[in-house]
Chain A
């Protein structure tokens, strides 16, 4: 077991290094000169440009810059933005905003997604099942920025039930964006749960559980659902990483000061250090979530043992 974890951690480190290198190269190859972008319309003053290049080591070869970045990242230093802000510090503040948003999205997926899936599987081909099917189809096929604008217009502007954007209203501010961010996967979770549970309900051990005289609730909750949820838990674990990157669009639409918004702005402004910093955090969360899901397998299913 510990050997397995060791090798997985090693893999994770390799993935982290590889992913950051790729993003480093990509930002390097992006068109546009960041120094020129700082100067705006007019041509940059050569002396100023020189100073900036030297300060941010832009004059060094790519590989040297990358090694410099890695060395800094190991000490928690992700560099500075062109306006002199510390990237690690900025992301440290923003990550909690993004985490809250992701938590809301995840909560929607678990409560609504799993709930609808269970209901659907137990009332197969009934009214509830059909309803869930229609809603999940809508959830899967409507792009989530469309859902976002419709909700902002109807729930936010027309009825005024929830804030349209921003985070000034605390808890309430996160409901709508959280729902939008999680909507696609909520639909997927509902379908996955339905399919898995419907399959489990036909298993012999579930019929045996019924035949030995257990109540329907006990049969479903204790015997059928537990096995059905293994793939759902896997999906949700990986979803944590996807939720952060999905937040790039959602945070921009709802004007939420999280990492996604910082990323979107940085790409727009050609802020390489921020882009690389955010991606590093994304990759890190993704890799850790992956590892945890793999270890969770063994807890959920005793047949799986890691050697």
Chain B
């Protein structure tokens, strides 16, 4: 599968969920500030896509645009499309988009404590849409909700049903949020940093749970994370974001073995590994670019050990450097080949 992007007019095969050239800007005092600068990725049924990137790279914002919960204004969608089963969601009226939420695409929020309503019991919150959307009776919704809670491995589901979010531990809360997102059996589940606020052991459990649930239902899973380990453990494909764009995408094993973008390589070098001797971790010098500050050329060139003249002249586009290896780097081939410093 190398048809990760569409070229020219040739229509690629229809994906379950496809984001294409998405642009979002924020209205600032000195004119609009671009936050997403043409984000493209897709996910298919039964597939797991990990979106990797540091804070502010635009990972979560992409998810909010897909769900239609972006606060606009101040944000403004400047262009691009979000296709779910071939339908462009951005053009749909609110009522039609609501139909897609929950049933077509579900979302798991990052912080499970703030994602659950503190004054409502957990069970009814999970099963709320069963009643409002599917029209189940109180009893039916209850039974189905308890079943959902069991499915996400919440022990004593019957008792837990009646409890409030503050009576749940962090891991249990995240399971509850996952159950809530799965209530209407969506085709795609977007999990926005689902393990960030959790202990390391619980993180692993939640990731395994997501993997199992996906295996059972065959849904598409989009895992937004800044954790390479999480991506490596459950993803099929990876999209790495930097400064509001996807800078590299490909199969997870290819990218981890030989990244095609210097940013991905720098991130990989900064991950602590048990099989290497403890010592100083490699750090990526410099800061991510300041949004809205107009720069020409590649946004990563200031931190890039390979930067050349061409990198100052124009911004690289996502292109295929080797079979299935896409990155937005002028020197992508060199990076894959393992060249470590600039030629000149």
Residues of A that sit less than 8 Å from B by CB: 202-205, 207-216, 218, 222-223, 226-227, 300-303
Contact A205-B71, Cβ < 8 Å, known A213-B101, A213-B133, A214-B128: no
Report how far A208 CA is from B192 CA in the complex, Å.
12
Docked-complex contact B115 and A208, CB < 8 angstroms: yes
Determine which of A205, A226, A303 lies in contact with B115 in the assembled complex, contact meaning CB atoms within 8 Å: A205
B180 and A212 within 8 A (CB): yes
Subset of 6 A-B contacts with CB under 8 Å: A208-B109, A211-B107, A213-B103, A214-B98, A227-B117, A300-B119
Additional pairs, 16, CB under 8 Å, beyond known A213-B103, A226-B117: A204-B114, A205-B117, A205-B118, A210-B67, A210-B101, A211-B67, A211-B101, A211-B106, A211-B107, A212-B129, A213-B99, A213-B101, A215-B98, A227-B117, A301-B119, A302-B119
The interface bits of chain B over 70-111 (1 if a CB of A lies within 8 angstroms of the residue's CB, else 0) are 010000000000000000000000100011111100110101
Instruction: Using CB atoms, name the residue of chain B closest to A224.
Output: B117
Answer whether residue B166 sits at the interface, using C-beta atoms and an 8 A cutoff: yes
CB atoms of B114 and A203 under 8 A apart: yes
Segment 151-192 of B: residues with Cβ below 8 Å from A: 164, 166, 177, 180-181, 183-184
* Identity of the chain A residue whose Cβ is nearest the Cβ of B182 in the assembled complex: A212
- Report chain B residues within 8 Å CB of A300: 119
Q: Are B115 and A204 in contact (CB under 8 A)?
A: yes
Q: Given A208-B115, A226-B119, are A202 and B71 also a contact pair (CB < 8 Å)?
A: yes
Q: Which residues of B contact A214 (CB under 8 A)?
A: 98, 128-129, 132
Known contacts: A205-B115, A226-B119. The answer to whether A303 contacts B129 by CB under 8 A is no
Check if A303 sits within 8 Å of B118, measured CB to CB: yes
Complex contact B119–A208 (CB within 8 A):
no
Minimum Cβ distance to chain A for residue B122 (Å): 11
| B positions within 8 Å CB-CB of A | 67-69, 71, 94, 98-103, 106-107, 109, 111, 114-120, 128-129, 132-133, 164, 166, 177, 180-181, 183-184
Please give me the 10 A-B residue pairs with the lowest Cβ-Cβ distance, nearest first: A213-B102, A213-B101, A204-B114, A205-B117, A208-B115, A302-B164, A212-B102, A211-B107, A204-B115, A211-B67
Cβ–Cβ contact A303 & B166, under 8 A: yes
- List the B residue with the shortest CB-CB distance to A227: B119
Q: From the candidates A202, A204, A301, name the one contacting B109 in the complex (CB within 8 A).
A: A204
Q: In this complex, what residue of B is CB-closest to A201?
A: B71
Is A205 within 8 A of B116, CB to CB? yes
Bound-state CA distance A212–B179 (Å) is 11
Minimal beta-carbon separation of B303 from chain A (angstroms):
32
Smallest Cβ distance from B138 to chain A, in angstroms? Answer: 15
A210 to chain B: which residues have CB within 8 Å? 67-69, 101
Interface-centre pick from A202, A223, A300, A302 (highest chain B CB count, 10 A): A302
| Bound form: Cα–Cα A213–B128 in Å | 10
**B140 CB, min distance to chain A CBs, angstroms:** 18
| Chain A residues, Cβ within 8 Å of B109 | 204, 207-208, 211
Interchain CA distance A211-B98 in the complex, whole Å? 8
Instruction: Determine whether the beta carbon of A218 is less than 8 Å from that of B132.
Output: yes
Residue among B98, B111, B117 with the most chain A CB within 10 A? B117
Task: Decide if A301 touches B118 in the complex (CB within 8 Å).
Answer: yes
Q: How far is the CA of A210 from the CA of B115 in the complex (A)?
A: 11
Residues of A within 8 Å of B67, CB to CB, are 210-211
Q: Does A208 contact B180, Cβ atoms closer than 8 Å?
A: yes
Please, how many angstroms separate the alpha-carbon atoms of A227 and B120 in the complex?
10
Q: Is the CB of B111 within 8 A of A204?
A: yes
Alpha-carbon distance between A215 and B114 when the two chains are bound, in angstroms:
20
Nearest CB of B to A125, in Å: 9
A204 and B94 alpha carbons, distance in the complex (Å): 20
Name the residue of chain A whose CB is nearest to the CB of B121: A302
Neighbouring A residues of B120 by C-beta, 8 Å: 222-223, 226
Question: How far is the CB of A80 from the nearest CB of chain B, in Å?
Answer: 51
Nearest-Cβ distance from residue B298 to partner chain A, whole angstroms:
34
Say whether, besides A204-B109, A218-B132, A302-B164, A211 and B69 are in contact (CB < 8 Å). Answer: yes
Is A213 a contact partner of B119 (Cβ separation < 8 A)?
no
Nearest A residue to B177, CB-CB: A208
A301 and chain B: residue at smallest CB distance? B119
Inside 8 A of A303's CB, which chain B residues have their CB?
118-119, 164, 166
Which residues of chain B are near A208, meaning CB under 8 Å?
107, 109, 115-116, 177, 180
B166 contact set on A, CB distance < 8 A: 302-303
User: Chain B nearest CB: distance from A41 CB in Å?
Assistant: 65
Check A212/B117 contact, CB under 8 A, given A204-B111, A302-B164, A303-B166.
no
